[in-house]
Amino acid sequence: MEESEPDHSTLSQLQYRALLTLTFENIDIHLDRPILLNYDAFYAKIVTGDRGGFCYELNECLCQCLSAVGYDVERLECRVELRESGSSFDHQITLVRIDGFRWMADIGFGDSTIVPLNLDERYPQTDGRSWFRVNEWGDHLQLSLLGEAGGWSKMLTLNMVPQQRLPM
């Protein structure tokens, strides 16, 4: 297999392939099963157990994978804005720095973007099927989705303060 540099093209392919391979599922949350936020539990559930996971599980796996192949990554917490009663910050994404730009990689949203979005771009951008816009919002960034009627709907609020790595 040919080695790839940690560039935007490879990141896009990794995110797209992860979305095709790793299923978003949050059944454990709805069944009140405990969610163990550690690497052994992720591996047992997703790799050995051949299951999917929710944002913290899937995006932490992505974060570890990207870090292992040489990407500069950080974890960011987000608030899901598409529903009325979101928790303060109830979603995790992976921030990837490439050539001075910050990219949002997210394989754990259920209806994620299929390629990373440029968090430094303020013009609308597409993942090939939907249009998105990133705006400053105080110390945070907001990601909005263009609806069929032509209006923008808030999708995520991103806390730009990196989060700690999960315990091993």
- Mean pLDDT, the chain, as a whole number? 88
pLDDT of residue 167: 55
pLDDT of residue 87: 60
pLDDT exceeds 90 at position 5: no
Share of the chain residues as helix, strand and coil, in percent rounded to the nearest 5? 25, 30, 45
37-42: long-range pairs with CB below 8 Å, 24+: 37/166, 38/166, 38/167, 38/168, 39/64, 39/166, 39/168
Q: How far apart are CA 27 and CA 19, in angstroms?
A: 18
pLDDT of residue 159: 94
In the chain, the domains with their CATH numbers are: 8-159 (3.30.2140.20)
**pLDDT tens per residue, range 115-148:** 999 999 999 999 999 999 999 999 999 999 999 8
Strand stretches in the chain, DSSP E? 72-80, 91-98, 101-105, 117-118, 125-126, 131-137, 140-146, 152-159
C-beta of residue 55 within 8 angstroms of C-beta of residue 76: no
Poorest-pLDDT segment among 8-12, 68-72, 89-93? 89-93
Q: Which of 23, 45, 11 lies closest to 110 in space, CA to CA?
A: 23
Report the pLDDT averaged over residues 42-71. Answer: 88
